[in-house]
Structure 1
Amino acid sequence: MVKLAFSTNAYTRFSLPAAVERIADVGYDGVEILADDPHAFFPEFGHKDRKAVVDHLEETGLEVSNINANTATGYYDDAPPSAFFEPSLCTANEDDRRWRIEYTKDAIDLAKQVGAPAVSVTTGQSLPGNPPEQARDILVDSLHKILDDAEPKGIDIGIEFEPELLVESTGEVLDLIDDIGRDSLGINLDLGHAAVYGESLPETISRTDGYITGIHLEDIVGGRRGKHYHRIPGEGDLDFEAIFDSLEQIGYDGFATLELYTYPGEPTRAAREALDYLNSTR
């Protein structure tokens, strides 16, 4: 049966240990750790910070579903919205790309320390001066360097596709995985992103069978005609009963992580209502 986790990226007004405690109190099986400011932003996230998180995980009994290294807004003093995913794995700036690769390796080390099975990453965008075909070549090279570090440590890397990024659909991420040809590269499957792109979620789940390193859940209003805005399950148009039926059909028994960073002022309410709703539909 699918296990439910909650991402700390909803608790950005709390410390990471406080977020872990609150997520455990709500009743989740697991927690996803945000590898970014204000939680685990490297390299400032030092030995004492890591020990505090490990201690809180042991005290609460929570498993870690994933290390979410999709963003690195802590890189900037004032992160511009247009560079939300920068520095990315496909950036043309060599120094910035090297920084992002090393940052991802730090996330891999944290995953190993806390027993997380995977680290999620995004591809970033093909920004001006970096056409898609060049950006894709850069991305492939970056992923090989990351996988060289992750594989000996037993950590999988899950690409999270998203509309308007370099890799934005199920077909594109499967093509990329096939081109790279390494078993430790998979998909952190955000089903809301697939819905916004216009995909059939049962079909998406079937197509990604065997590649899923983790799942992100949120509700979306309007599908392809809607906006990419994460809502509490039950407040949008996604059919979660069909989602869980599809996951059962492929035998997926890993974590599905609620990603509700859109509720920073009331993360515990969002966490509680999401858990109640999903437990009633699966």
Structure 2
Amino acid sequence: MSLRPSPRPTAHPLRYSYGTNGLTDLRLDDALSLLADLGYDGVGLTLDHMHLDPLAPDLAARTHKLARRLDELGLGVTIETGARYVLDPRRKHGPSLLDPDPDQRARRADLLVRAVQIATDLGAHAVHCFSGILPKDTATATVGEADAEAAAGEAAEDAAWKRLAETLAPVLDAATAAGIPLAVEPEPGHLLATLDDFHRLRTALGSPDALGLTLDIGHCQCLEPLSPADCVRAAAPWLRHVQIEDMRRGVHEHLPFGDGEIDFPPVLDALAAVGYQGLVSVELPRHSHAGPQLAQQSLPFLHHAAAVSTPPDADRPPIPGEGSTDSDGRTP
């Protein structure tokens, strides 16, 4: 299949990118060239061993070279930090910001500080991160009466939120100094899983200017009470990064466009209406085996969806299974 660029519409203000976590079988330069050839405006760059390894000894030189290449190709960039095993070859997304061991939490914080520096060197518009899951030792309640277990669970969760806020403090200091937003992503199955959870963290930290939000449109479909378009409007003041893919209600599985339940024209209309200026990044981390083809197909889909006019009262479609508590908790 030949790879042809998607025609760029001029009427819609949104800018689209594609995540390198969905192109892991390509060398980084090949992935960037592909996206530029297809007409993407940018790239969601996941810091990982196969592309830009944040722990490599030659990081500064490679980052400088990458900055030149992005400039040559005219690609914007967001820094993503969701690589599965970049810090620990045995623990997916470990250690997290919630790790019981303070030294391990510091390793994650150090990675995020390094990500802020990389973002500065590349001219990225945001650094993405997420909280991690509640560690088992934190979540385990004392065996006993139901009320005692509930109280222990609540105390453990409160302790985890305190951990999260404390561990993020030096990262936010670095982000503030660099003028780079730290965009936290609500992730199904994590401690910080919803928009309400984001506001809990924001309040605990005193609403720092450097703290922003990564909104994953699929996650909105998966578990938020609002429609994805309404989530965009509710999140607008804090919106610093957007990830997009299809998804079904109650199932955390990133799907190619058209394979899920999301009505995309209202979502893109909402992003344009709130004046979102960052990249809208396609997020398909389980589809690298078909990455080039999906990158080719995704951009025309988004351009077409953005061009479709939406009746004013038609942007709140019913969400299949709304109100259901069923979820398989699947994470990318």
Give the TM-score band, short-chain normalised: over 0.9
Q: Report the TM-score when normalising by structure 1.
A: 0.93
State the one-letter code of the partner of 2:236.
Answer: D
Deviations 1:153-178 (A, max 9, x none): 11100111111100111111122112
The offset of 1:232, in angstroms, is 1.6
| Higher gyration radius (CA) | 2
Match of 1:162 among 172, 176, 187: 187
Q: CA deviation at 1:236?
A: 1.6
Query: Match for 1:51: what amino acid?
Result: H
Q: Given that residues 194 and 224 in structure 2 are in contact (C-alpha distance below 8 angstroms), is that contact kept between their aligned partners in structure 1?
A: no
Q: Is the 8 A contact 1:232 1:273 kept in 2?
A: no
Q: Secondary structure at the match of 1:208?
A: helix
Answer yes or no: is 1:177 the counterpart of 2:202.
Answer: yes
- Across the aligned residues of Structure 1 and Structure 2, the Cα RMSD in angstroms comes to 1.4
Q: CA deviation at 1:53?
A: 1.4
Letter in 1 for 2:166: D
- Which residue number in structure 2 is paired with residue 189 of structure 1? 215
The structural deviation recorded for 1:263 is 1.4
1:33 is displaced (CA, Å) by 0.7
- Cα distance between partner residues in 1 of 2:277 and 2:121: 22
Residues 41 and 135 from structure 1, CA distance in 2 versus in 1: closer, same or farther, beyond 3 angstroms? farther
1:101 paired residue among 105, 109, 122: 109
Once the 2 structures are TM-superposed, how far is the Cα of residue 75 of structure 1 from its aligned partner? 2.1
Match in the other structure for 1:211:
238
Q: How does 1:196-235 map to 2 (within 5 A)?
A: 196-199=222-225, 200-220=227-247, 222-224=248-250, 227-235=251-259
- Match of 2:15? 3
Is 1:132 the counterpart of 2:157? The answer is yes
On the 8 A contact 2:129/2:183 being kept in 1, the answer is yes
Query: 1:272 — aligned with what?
Result: 296
SS, match of residue 75 in structure 1: coil
Amino acid in the other structure paired with 1:206: R
Deviation at 1:72, TM superposition (A): 4.9
1:141 & 1:125 partners in 2: Cα distance?
16
Question: Aligned pairs, how many?
Answer: 274
Verify: 1:236 aligned to 2:260, yes or no: yes
Secondary structure of 2:237's partner?
coil
Moved over 3 A (4+): none
Residue 19 of structure 1 deviates from its aligned partner by: 1.5
Report what 1:61 is aligned to.
Answer: 74
Q: Distance in 2 between matches of 1:7 and 1:149?
A: 24
Distance apart, 1:17 and its partner CA: 2.0
Which residue of the partner structure matches residue 48 of structure 1? 61
Q: Is the contact between residue 88 and residue 94 of structure 2 (CA under 8 Å) also seen in structure 1?
A: no
